[in-house]
Structure 1
């Protein structure tokens, strides 16, 4: 509660406190988000799909024990980053320990979230999964929804964190000084996020109705790779500053490429040639 109040009414103080825990926060977010990306990379649900990036992606999607591979790659990322941070900081415990603990807790938080989700979606009698969310066990669906909200919210928060939004807002005068002026800006920001979330929900529901996501077959892959790149950027930011232009545009570039490769250019070209006279 004090952190929320400080973020709204004293953004300058909040920025300073956030800077103190940023290494642990970035390590936590990188490990968690990488595991979310690994669900797609190693195809943990064994869904049938067409590979976006060719044979390598297809091979990774068919590996045995995909969940083990997810944990191994996340652990490797945490270990490698910790070693590099330790070397850079002369193995200072005050610098190294937050990175190690942050990454470890990120993996633990992901496993805990998935355990809660699996438990919430498990039918009470083991057979009728359609009954989940109805009757006396209706509250279980809300437990599952909370894991989804936590996962999505963490991704959004870490994206804004690596964009350095808190520091720039509090340091450049956009929010003004510590005071009530920040409350108005926070309300505008919350309203904008709310409108964007509603628009996105309506857009995706219409895409589902029109089978648009099935036609744009690589759009899901692009969204997954955005998460993978975000995790790598978070790990990298522990070692070197990330240019703002990279952070600001990587998602748009990846999604744009996924959209462009999903469009039926060949079919359009053949149709255009048939329509030409002669």
Structure 2
């Protein structure tokens, strides 16, 4: 047995647990400074804890997809993603991204947006919520392409829902079939909206599709260039870029949804930041333990969860769907996939 399999769960969660202690301590300090009461302090402390749990539940599939990509990357690029990547994920998506939305939507400067977050949280939350439609259309389209890219694969020979996945893989040789499918879904869905909202949805969906295609093209170009210069091997800068955009798409829903629990940007950043550290720990554990190879249907469950998340993001442009339902749905699918994998492993062991 190698070192990776000997490591305990606590070893993998060490930095996540440290970030939890620090984050909740900051939450208590922030609560006391902003309210000056024990009740207010406990309320903010509790909100940060709930946001962390929400982020973890929403990000099970994110960790599995990250591990799926990381297992083919060199150790150097794995380390870079798990260090620099987590900094971008925590500070970029949980702090800079919400500020950037307000900067663009309200046409104000970054400092003004920061002041608004601190002194006018209600107005800040209103602007964020108004920006939900284009964000949901963009992120939903990107994630739908990610999920379909997994199923529309000629070389895919392991099928969880065999009757469906085997037929999908047969059509993978048709050039651009997943692109046509996503565009059709987006255009059909846009008919449920009216006026300016319909135009915003369509344009945002197209930008999401273009972003996915550009990341794929640019990623392949960068990795090819690195191979020719021997600066990196399989899964270099291009894969790193892909994972960062993927993480951003996963984060859209959590960041916007967090404003339903708190309008304080700093409370949201603490709560979601704690959750992001657990995603990093889960990703490392999945890669080092080879969990994806041990449980053959785990990836399938994650990509089905991504596909459902993409559809939910579309429907959230019409009605509010609680993030708890989204998180539990994704976690439930992954749990069923894990159970199916364990059953398959037992059958194989019994047959031998």
TM-score range, shorter chain: 0.7 to 0.9
Q: 2:250 aligns with which of 152, 155, 179?
A: 155
Structure 1 position 81 matched with structure 2 position 183: no
CA root-mean-square deviation? 2.9
Structure 1 position 13 matched with structure 2 position 109: no
Give the helix-richer structure, 1 or 2: 2
1:100-129 per-position Cα deviation (integer Å, ceiling 9, x unaligned): 1111111111111111111111146xxx66
Structure with the greater alpha carbon radius of gyration: 1
> Using a 3 Å threshold, how does the CA distance of structure 1 residues 40 and 159 change in structure 2: closer, same or farther?
farther
8 Å contact from structure 1 (residues 6, 13) kept in 2: no
8 Å contact from structure 1 (residues 31, 77) kept in 2: no
Superposition deviation, residue 5 in structure 1: 2.6
Aligned to 2:332: 253
Aligned to 2:198: 96
Superposition deviation, residue 33 in structure 1: 0.8
Aligned to 1:238, the other structure's residue is in SS state: coil
Q: 1:71 aligns with which of 179, 182, 186?
A: 179
Aligned to 1:241, the other structure's residue is in SS state: coil
Aligned residues: 239
Partners of 2:116 and 2:339 in 1: CA distance: 40
Superposition deviation, residue 131 in structure 1: 2.3
> Using a 3 Å threshold, how does the CA distance of structure 1 residues 268 and 34 change in structure 2: closer, same or farther?
closer
8 Å contact from structure 1 (residues 6, 14) kept in 2: no
Structure 1 position 237 matched with structure 2 position 339: no
Partners of 1:167 and 1:130 in 2: CA distance: 49
Superposition deviation, residue 72 in structure 1: 0.8
Q: Summarize the alignment of residues 1-278 of structure 1 with structure 2, pairs less than 5 Å apart.
A: 3=100, 5=114, 9=118, 10-43=120-153, 46-65=154-173, 68-86=176-194, 92=195, 94-123=196-225, 131-133=230-232, 141-161=236-256, 164-170=257-263, 175=264, 183=266, 185-186=267-268, 188-189=270-271, 191-208=273-290, 212-264=291-343, 267=346
Unaligned runs of 5+ in 1: 87-91, 135-139, 176-181, 272-278
Aligned to 1:61, the other structure's residue is in SS state: helix
Aligned to 2:319, the other structure's residue is in SS state: coil
8 Å contact from structure 1 (residues 121, 132) kept in 2: no
8 Å contact from structure 1 (residues 24, 102) kept in 2: yes
Partners of 2:272 and 2:202 in 1: CA distance: 33
Partners of 2:138 and 2:344 in 1: CA distance: 41
Superposition deviation, residue 40 in structure 1: 1.1
8 Å contact from structure 1 (residues 35, 70) kept in 2: yes
8 Å contact from structure 1 (residues 27, 106) kept in 2: yes
More contact order relative to length (CA 8 Å, sep ≥ 6): 2
Unaligned runs of 5+ in 2: 1-95, 101-112
TM-score, with length taken from structure 2? 0.60
Partners of 1:233 and 1:205 in 2: CA distance: 28
